[in-house]
Amino acid sequence: MRRVLERIARLVLTYVVLYAVTWVVIGLTLRGDYSFTEDTGLGSGMFVIVGGPTLLLALLAGPAHTQMDVTTFRAALAFPMVFFAWPLVGAGAPEPLVFQVLCQIAFAAYLMPAPLVPENWTPKPR
C-alpha cells in the first residue's frame, strides 16, 4: 500500500512541477499587455480547469489499466489530457495553448508513473 501511495504522490508532484514550469515558460515568452506575474497568476488560476481534470484522469485511469502495455496506455491517455487544455483556445496569443498542450503530452508520454498500481508487485519484507 505504501508503494502505491508513493507512486500517487510522485504522479501529483510531477504534474504540479511540470505545470508550474510550463507557466513560467509561458510567462517568459509571452509578450503582451500583461506582466510575468500576471501571466503566471493566470496559470495558477487555470490549474483548477486544466490541471485538476488531468490529475483526476491520471488517478482514475492508472489503476484501471491492466490489459494493455505501458506504451499503448500512455498513447491512449495523451489525447484526453490534451483535450483539457481547451480553455486556452480563446487566449489572445498561441503560446499558452501550445506550451500547455506540450506539457500534457510530455506528462502522459514520459513523466507519468505507469503503471500506477504495478500488477506484479509484492510488499518488500521488513
Q: What is the pLDDT of residues 3-18, one digit of tens each?
A: 888 888 999 999 999 9
**DSSP annotation of 47:** I
Q: What is the arithmetic mean of pLDDT over 43-71?
A: 86
DSSP string, 84-124: TTGGGGGSSSSHHHHHHHHHHHHIIIIIS-SSSS-TT--PP
Whole-number pLDDT of residue 56: 93
Q: pTM for this one?
A: 0.85
Q: Does residue 29 contact residue 95 with C-beta atoms inside 8 Å?
A: yes
pLDDT(48) > 60 = yes
Q: Give the pLDDT confidence of 62-121 residue by residue, as tens digits.
A: 777 667 777 888 888 898 999 999 999 988 888 899 999 999 999 998 888 877 776 554
Predicted local confidence at residue 122, as pLDDT: 46
pLDDT band, very low/low/confident/very high, at 57 (cuts 50, 70, 90): very high
Q: Beta-carbon neighbour count of residue 40 at 10 Å? A: 18
Q: How far is CA 69 from the centre of its chain?
A: 20
